[in-house]
Amino acid sequence: MKELAGKNILLGITGGVAAYKSAVLCRDLMRRGAEVRVVMTEAATHFITPLTLQALSGHPVHSELFAAEAGHGMDHIELARWADRLLIAPASAQTIAKLAHGEADNLLTTIVLASDAPLLIAPAMNNVMWEDAAMQGNVDLLLARGVTMLGPASGDQACGEDGLGRMLEPLEIIEHLQLQLQPGLLAGKNILITAGPTWEAIDPVRGLSNRSSGKMGYALAGAIYDAGASVRLISGPVHLRSPHGVDCINITSAQEMADTVMANVSICDIFVAVAAVADYRPANCVKQKIKKNAETLSLELVRNPDILAMVAALENAPFTVGFAVETENIIEYATQKLTTKRIDLIAANPVSGDNSAFDSESNELTLIDRNGISHLSRCSKTLLAQKLTKEIAHRYHETHPAKDS
C-alpha cells in the first residue's frame, strides 16, 4: 500500500496537546511511501521531542529560522520548494492566526509564505477557542484563499470539555491527502448534490422540518470537490459554512429544492440526493400567525415532489445516488427505493437510538446497488464522505466507460 509514493510532505507541528498524534501521522505517511520532513514551532517542542520525529522521519527536524548550520541559511526556501504538500497538524490557534494574516515570524510560517504548494491545516484546540469570532474570521480568510481545513472533529478534549476542536485522527488526515493527490477520481465531472432539511411553512412563524443538520451532504460536497469535480450544492436551511470551491444555492422548501434541481440537472453527470426533503407540506400557508383559539387544530398536508424519482426518470438521467434514512427494515426499504425509483446507488443509514445519523459527527452507511450490498463502517462524516466519493466514482466509471474514453 504505497499510495503516497514519491510525494514530498512537509509536516508542520505546532504547540498543542494533539502534537502527540503527529508522531503516528508521520509514521503512517511514511508507511504509505511519502517522503516526510518535519518542521516544529518552538511551542511544539514542549509537547513532543524533535528526537521522536527525527527518528520516525529519518531526517533532522527543523525548527530554527536562523539556524547557522542549515544549508546556506536558506532552509525555509529549500523546504518550501521541496514540498508537494504542506500539512500542519496540529495547527494551533496562534499559528492559524499568523497564517491568516500572512505573518512570517518563525520557520514554519515563513515556509508557508515562501511555498506555492497547497496547504492543509488540521486545527486542534479547546472548543471555545475554536468557536471564537476572531478564530472563525481567520478560518474564513484561509478558506477563501483555498486552504484545506481538515476538521476539527467533535468529542472529548484534553481540557476536559466536549465539543468541536479535536484534531482529526491521523488516518482521516491521510485519507484527505490521498484524495487531493489523486484529483483524477472525478476530474472534469459535474456533480449536483442536495443537502440539509427543508422547511414547509405553516404560517409566517411556524413550519414543518426535520432533524437533518446537512453535515453529511456538506462533507460529501467537499470530498467530491477534492476529487476534482465541479460541485453545485443545493442546500436547505443549515448552520454550516459552504465547503471551499463548492457553488452553493440556498433554498427553503421542498418545492424550491425540486425547482432548483430541475433547473440545474441537465448539466450534471452525477446527482446525489442527501437532503432530507419533507414528503408533505401544508396545503395552505396562512398569511397571519395562527392563534391558539381552538382546542385542536388539523393541518391538511399535500405530497411534495419526489425529487430523486423525478431526476431518475429523466430521459438522459445522470448517475443517481440517493440516501435512505430509516428507523427499521433499512435494507428492505432501501432496496425497494432502489428498484421502484430506478436509482443507481442507495446509501442507507439508520436513525435509531445512539446510532442516529442526524446532527451527529459520525455515521455509517450501507450501500446498495444492482450488484449487491456493502457496508462503510462508522467513522467521522468527513472520512465517510471520502470513502463514499470513492465508491460513487468507481461505480460511475464502471457504468459510463464510453463517456470517459
Q: Which residues bind ligand FMN (CB under 6 A)?
A: 14-18, 41, 43-44, 92-95, 124-125
Asked whether 303 and 280 are in contact (CB, 8 A), the reply is yes
For the CB of residue 17, give the shortest distance to ligand FMN in the complex, in Å. 5
Judged by beta carbon, residue 125 or residue 246, the one nearer ligand FMN is: 125
* Number of neighbouring beta carbons within 10 Å of residue 146: 10
Asked whether 367 and 373 are in contact (CB, 8 A), the reply is yes
For the CB of residue 124, give the shortest distance to ligand FMN in the complex, in Å. 5
Q: Which uninterrupted H or E stretch holds 364?
A: strand 362-369
Judged by beta carbon, residue 44 or residue 147, the one nearer ligand FMN is: 44
Judged by beta carbon, residue 45 or residue 252, the one nearer ligand FMN is: 45
Q: Is 329 left (phi over 0), alpha (psi -120 to 50) or beta?
A: left
Distances (CA, A) of 158 to 42, 236, 331: 21, 35, 39
Catalytic residue among 159, 268, 285, 379: 159
Geometric angle at alpha carbon 105, from 99 and 110, rounded to 5°: 60
Judged by beta carbon, residue 129 or residue 331, the one nearer ligand FMN is: 129
C-alpha cell at 368: 446498495
For the CB of residue 100, give the shortest distance to ligand FMN in the complex, in Å. 12
Judged by beta carbon, residue 107 or residue 273, the one nearer ligand FMN is: 107
What is the distance between the terminal CA atoms of the chain, rounded to a whole angstrom? 28
Longest dimension (CA), the chain: 84
Q: Measure the CA dihedral 16/22/24/29, to 10°.
A: 160
For the CB of residue 43, give the shortest distance to ligand FMN in the complex, in Å. 3
For the CB of residue 55, give the shortest distance to ligand FMN in the complex, in Å. 21
User: Does the annotation count 379 as an active-site position?
Assistant: no
Catalytic residue positions, numbered: 159
